[in-house]
Each structure stands twice: as C-alpha cells, then as structure tokens.
Chain A
Amino acid sequence: MNWINNVVRPKIRSFLTTKREVPDNLWVKCPESGQMVFYKDLESNQFVVPGSGYHMRMGAKSRLVALFDGGAYETISVPPVPQDPLKFRDGRRYTERLKDAKTKTSLEDAVLIGEGRLDGQNIVSAAQDFDFMGGSLGMAAGEAVITGLTRALEKGTPFILFAASGGARMQEGILSLMQMPRTTIAVQRLREAGLPYIVVLTDPTTGGVTASYAMLGDVHIAEPGALICFAGPRVIQQTIREQLPDGFQRSEYLLDHGMIDMVVHRHKLRETLSRVCRILMNGGGKAKRANGHASANGRMIETTAREAAVLEVRPMDVASPVVGDGAGRDATAKTSKPLAKDKSSPA
C-alpha cells in the first residue's frame, strides 16, 4: 500500500488506512532484546515478546478481548461530552487531533468500556488506549470511567480498570484536571457499595491518572516493567539534575515501595483477576449488598444506601454485543474487528 500512500492526498489516505490493524511493519522489534518478532505471533501471545518476555503496549480492544470469556463483551456507550470546549490549538486544531486519533484507533476516546463475563462472573471493565492521544484523561475519558464504574454499581459487579495514560489532556485545560475529582466520586460510590475495584497498571500510567482513580483501587496489579509515576522521569531529571536510580518508577520498584500489591505476567493476569474478584465477592459483603446496605466504611454507612439508590444514571444504550467464536484468544482477536464500527456514541 505504500505507493498509494504516496499518491493519495492525506485526507483521503486516512480512509484507505483505517481498516488495517496490522502496522506497516509486519515485523516488530523488541525494545529490550532487539529481537524481531512477526506481528501475528506477537498478537497471539497477547503482545508479550516470546523469548524476552517484554510486555508491549496493548490496545483497549485487545485488552477486553483478552479479559472476557471467549473474548466476548458488550461495549457500553458513553454519554457525549463537549468537543474542544476551549477551542484549543497547538500548531494544529485539537478537533483535528481528535479526528486523527479516532481514525487511528477506531475508538471514540481513550477509554473503552466493556461488560461481559470472566470465568462466568459478571464484570464491567475499562481499558485505556495509549494510542489515543497518549491515553490522556480528558472529559470523554473521565466520563467513560464514571460510566463504567456506575454500570458496575448498578449491576452489582466488580470493576476492572486497565490504566495506560500519559496523564491529563492539556488541550482541555482545567476541564481535564477536573476529571480527577469527578472519577474519584464514582470510585467512592462503588467502594461504598462494597464492590471490588481492581486496577491493572500498565505501561505507562502517569500524571493525573495515577494521582486519581488509578491509585484508589482495592487491589493494585502491575504488569512487569511498566512505568508508573506521578511526575515522569524527564521532569524529575530536569528538576534535580542527577542520575535517577535503576528501575526507578517501574512496577517492581513500586512493589518494593508498597504502592502496589503484585506484579503479574500478562499471561497470568486473567486468572489472577478472576480469583481476586471471586474471593472478594464471596465475603460477608455479599449479604450486605443483597440487602442494599453496603460499605464496611463506618462513616459512610448512612449515606451509602441512599446515595446509591438515587444515583442518577445518564441514559446509555448498549451497543451491539461482540460474540466470540469461543475458539480461544487468537481467533477472537480477529472477530473483534467488526467492533470497530459498534454503535458507541457518535459524540
């Protein structure tokens, strides 16, 4: 297709290239070992480089496909938010950047919400896509996280979040910053209802995302070698002008410093998540949840039931379910393609 790209004008080019999920290069180089891997092999290995075990970044859709039974899940659409409220431009218009990101990822914004089953348990999950403007947290992503948490609350299911983000979306200014408290409210409501909130921290999780919903989980799981921090290494280096310690701000470092519960290989992730959710859901909280009481947090008890009951939920239509063929991960990764055109809100 390269010659087409050279001839066709940029605007038209995007139509030609949207449908490809395979990158230009069929071979991918492992950043750690330098080894070349065939893309299909990488995809079928959940983007873990065979041999070196390096965890490559993974798109939101692949995440959800890998999580749910048979790769089947329903996309939950997110209420539309104002696009470009600040009329921002930094060299280019923000609206153009958004359009490009949508084309590139076939997502509406950086967070994708899905609902399905994990070893038979009902689960709501959110996956953040680093390819969508660095997974940055803007109004749409914030609203998506809130929608996902609210959905889990309504359905009485655990919520699993796959975090991947460069932080706040500068182009939305203060409205991006306000997503930190906004998402925290939704986390609190899930917590008060006694439902598990599990965060999977993937490479990279930084800035305002780490400093809000990604650090408020009941259980924090990180993938090996992921960069997880508030201020990035570049910023810190500029401030202190010294060499940073080895492995600084990587998953294993955070584990040593008590910020996360475990570092789990991607191939063991599903099994771990399933077990944690099952054990948490089988405690005494089960009866409480059934009675509409909720919350072990003493000070919240009186408000909890009431607040949960009157929680206003914005209308959301459940988009077309994606049905996996049940033949396992590899096959379902392909069937997730039509999902690209699901009915999630046009915004």
Chain B
Amino acid sequence: MATPRLRVSKKILEEINAQIEDEIVREFAKSLLQFELENWRIEKLHFKDFFTDQLTIYCRRRMQKL
C-alpha cells in the first residue's frame, strides 16, 4: 500500500517565495502548511509537538547562520 503526497497550491507557494525574504522563515512556513495539508481532515489535530519541533529546528538553523 502506498501513500500519496499532497501539494500546497502553487499560488500560495509562489506568494511565499515572493513575499518572504528570509529563507528560514520561508521554509518554516512551507513545512507548517505541508503538515496542515496532509492532516487536513483530522478534526482534533495534535499539532503542537510538530509545530514546536519545527520551530526549534528552524530557530537553531537560524542561530547557526548568525
């Protein structure tokens, strides 16, 4: 059994690329949207762990860059 991958709309991605200059913020935003899309149908989604982990990962990446 295989699992398909959903795609965030091209328009939203284009807008993210155009509006967000900071690469870290851009990638962080995309990762959150992808997560939401893949869990779209789940009413009571446990999002906090994923969001906090992603925030930590991207924040450390940013601090390393600095």
Q: Do A and B come from one complex?
A: no
- On A, residues with C-beta under 8 Å from B are none
- On B, residues with C-beta under 8 Å from A are none
